[in-house]
Structure 1
Amino acid sequence: MLGLMALAMTFSVQAQLKTPQPSPLSKIEQVVGLTDVSIEYSRPNMRGREVFGNLVPYGKTWRTGANANTKVTFSDDVVIDGKTLKSGTYAIYTVPNKSSWDVMFYTDSNNSGLPKTWDDSKVALKAKAQVYPMPVDIETFTITLDDLTSDSAVIGMLWGKVYAGVKFVVPTDKTVMKNIDATMKGNPTANDYYASAVYYYESGKDIKQAQTWIDKSIEMTETPAFWQLRKQALIHAKTGDKAGAIETAKKSLAGAEAAGNADYIKMNTDSLKEWGAL
C-alpha cells in the first residue's frame, strides 16, 4: 500500500512539470473597421529543415500550423474573392503550391490537425492566396493581419522564404451608414456630427454634407480643439471654400502652438502655404 501511495505521489509531481512547447500556441486579435477578427494557431519552427515542398508537401492539405487546427473567427460576415463567408469560427486549411495556395475555411473547427475524414460539404469558402518570396528566412511559422483599412485586411501566412496572403472585406460602410442615419434621426451630439463629418470626408462621400455636419459640431462645441479645427479646415478646403479653410487653419495652428503639438503645427503650416496664406 505504501508503495502504491509513493508511486501515485511521484506521478502527481511529474504531472506538474512544465516544459517549453515545441510549437507554442498563439492568438492574435484585431478590429478591422468594426469587425472583430481573431486567429488561434500553433507555431512550428524550421529547425534547419526545408519547409515547403519537403516538410510541408506541395499539393497536400496542411493544417496551417501545428497541433490542433488553426482557427479564425469573424464577428460579421466577410467577403473573400467576391464570395460571402458567414460570421463564425472556421478552421483554416491550406494546400501550398509554389506560386499560390488554396485556402479553405472549414466549418468543423475542432480537429486535432486534419479531420479524420475530409468532408467537402464543410468547406464554407475556398480562395486563392498568391505566394511572394521573402528576402530572409522566417524561422517560426507566423500568421499576421496586414494591410489594414477601414473595410479590409489580409490574412498573411509566413514561413521559410514564403509569404501567402488572403484579403477579406468587412461590411464597415454598410454598418456605419446605418448608424449615422439612425443617429441623425434622433438627437445628435456635437461628437456625433463630428464623427459623421469625418467619416464622410475620409470615405469620399457627400462633402457638402460633411461640411454642414462639421460646422454644426464646431458651433456646438464651447472650445473646439486644434485637431477638430484642423479637420474642419480640410473639409472646407475640399468643398472649395479656401477662405474658410485658411481662417480655420490659422485657429488650429494657434491652438497647436499653444499646446506645443509639433505635428499639427507642421500640418497646418504646410496647408496654409499650399493655400497661399503664408
Structure 2
Amino acid sequence: MKKLHQTLLLACACLFFCTRLYAQSVSLPPSGDNQKSIVTQYIGSLAHVSIQYNSPDVTGSNGESRAGQIWGQLVPYGLTNLGFGSAQASPWRAGANENTVITFSHDMEVEGKPIRAGSYGLHMIVEENQPWVMILSKNSSAWGSYFYDEKEDALRVELQPQENEYREWLTYEFTDRQPEHTVAALMWENLKIPFTIRVPNMNALYVNNMRKELQSAAGFTWQGWNQAATYCLQNDTHLEEALSWADNAISMPYIGQENFTTLQTKASILHKLNRVEEATQLMAKAIEHPTANPLQIHAYGRQLISQGEKAKALEVFKHNAKKFPDTWPVNVGLARGYSATGDYKKALKYAKIAHEEAPDELNKNSLQAAIQSLEKGEDIN
C-alpha cells in the first residue's frame, strides 16, 4: 500500500512537471512583426515617464500599403466589439499586440488631471470629427483591449489629434521637454496626438529628496547643506527649513564651516524672510571674513545694485578696493558703484583704470563700451 501511494505521488509530480513544460512557451518574433519599443523622458532630474508599446507600420505584413486606411478602418472609430475576451465595447490599445503601458515614477498630472505613480494600460477611443479620449487603465498587464473594463479606469482625458508629417511606424515621442513638464505624442501615418504630462509641485519633490540625501553622504559636507539651502533660496520655497540647513552648513559639529559662501547663503535667506537687519549684519561679517575674495565681494555689490540698494553697493565696492587694492575687478566695481549713484566723472576715472587692468579682450571691449557710455553721461549698470 505504501509503495502504491509513493507511485501515485510520483505520477502526479511527473504530470505537473510535464504540464508546466507544455505550457512554457519559447521566445518567437513579435506577432505581425510589430516591434516592441520603449521611450523614457525625465522631467527634471528625478521624475520620469516611460511608454512601452508594440509598433505596427502602415505597410501590411503582405507588403501592401494601408495608407489612407488606418484611421476609421484598421483602427475603428469609437468603441468596438473585438469578438474575443470579456469586453463588449473596447477602445483601441494605442499600439499593437500587448497592452501599451505608460509608467509614472512619481505622482503627476496628465492634461491637468492627477494620476498616481505607477503603471497603466494606455487606450484610446478614436473619433473622426471630434476629440479623442485617452484612457489610463489600472489594469496594465492585460493583453490589448480584449478585457477592457471601464471600472478599472484611472483617468480619462480628451485629446485633439493634429495633422503631422507621414510616419510609417507607430511611434511615441516626447516633443517638448521643460523643467516641470513634457509633451508626449503618438504619431502614426498622418496624425499626431499630443498630451501634456506635468509634475505638479517640483520644488516639493526636490526638497523631499534633499531631506533623504542629507541623511546620507551629502549631509557629511558643509557643501551639501549649503547647496540644499541655496536651492530653496533660489526657488523661494521651504525658507524656514532652508535657514536651518544654512545654519548646519555654518556650524554643524565636525561638518559646518563658517566662510563667505555659507554666511552669504544664510544672510540671503534671512533677507527673503524679511529679517533685513539680521541679514545686513551677517553680510557685513561675510565681507570681512578671511575667506572672502575680491570676486565674491564684487558679485555681492552687483547684487545690491540689482536690488536697488545703490548707496550700499558703492560702500561694498569701496570696501573691496580697500581690502584688495589694485586687484581685478576692484576698479570695475568702483566704476559701477559711482555710476549707479550718478557720479559719472568718478565712474569714468575708475572705468579707464579697469580698462588698463583688463585680463582679456572680452573685458577690455566691455569696459571700452562702458567708457563711451560714461562719457555721454549714461549709467553703465
Change (3 A) 1:138 1:132: same
Deviation at 1:36, TM superposition (A): 2.7
Task: Report the TM-score, using the length of structure 1 for normalisation.
Answer: 0.65
Match of 1:54 among 59, 70, 73: 73
Change (3 A) 1:198 1:237: farther
After superposition, residues 4-83 of structure 1 pair within 5 angstroms as 22-33=33-44, 34-47=46-59, 48=65, 49-50=67-68, 51-60=70-79, 61-83=91-113
After superposition, residues 97-176 of structure 1 pair within 5 angstroms as 97=127, 98-116=129-147, 118-134=148-164, 136-170=165-199, 171-176=201-206
Change (3 A) 1:16 1:122: closer
Structure whose residues are more often strand by fraction: 1
Deviation at 1:95, TM superposition (A): 1.0
2:226 paired with 1:197:
no
| Native 8 Å contact 1:180 1:196 kept in 2 | no
Aligned to 2:57, what secondary structure does the other structure show? coil
Q: Which has the higher contact order (CA 8 A, sep 6+)?
A: 1
Change (3 A) 1:192 1:115: farther
Deviation per CA, 1:159-209: give whole Å up to 9, x if none: 12211112122242212234557859x7763355346535653x46699x9
Deviation at 1:119, TM superposition (A): 1.5
Task: Report the TM-score, using the length of structure 2 for normalisation.
Answer: 0.49
| Partner Cα separation in structure 1 for residue 192 and residue 221 of structure 2 | 46
Deviation at 1:124, TM superposition (A): 0.5
| Partner Cα separation in structure 1 for residue 105 and residue 304 of structure 2 | 36
RMSD across aligned positions (CA): 4.6
Deviation per CA, 1:91-133: give whole Å up to 9, x if none: 10001224422000001111221133x3111000101112221
- The higher radius of gyration belongs to 2
Gaps of at least 5 residues in structure 2 are 1-25, 60-64, 80-90, 250-259, 266-285, 318-327, 334-358, 371-378
| Partner Cα separation in structure 2 for residue 31 and residue 106 of structure 1 | 22
| Native 8 Å contact 2:203 2:237 kept in 1 | no
| Partner Cα separation in structure 2 for residue 151 and residue 45 of structure 1 | 33
| Native 8 Å contact 1:100 1:164 kept in 2 | no
Which residue number corresponds to residue 88 of structure 2? none
Structure whose residues are more often helix by fraction: 2
Gaps of at least 5 residues in structure 1 are 1-14, 252-257
The percent of aligned pairs where both chains have the same amino acid is 22
User: Which amino acid in the other structure matches residue 121 of structure 2?
Assistant: A
Aligned to 2:204, what secondary structure does the other structure show? helix
Aligned to 2:94, what secondary structure does the other structure show? coil
- The count of corresponding residues between Structure 1 and Structure 2 is 236
| Native 8 Å contact 2:185 2:192 kept in 1 | yes
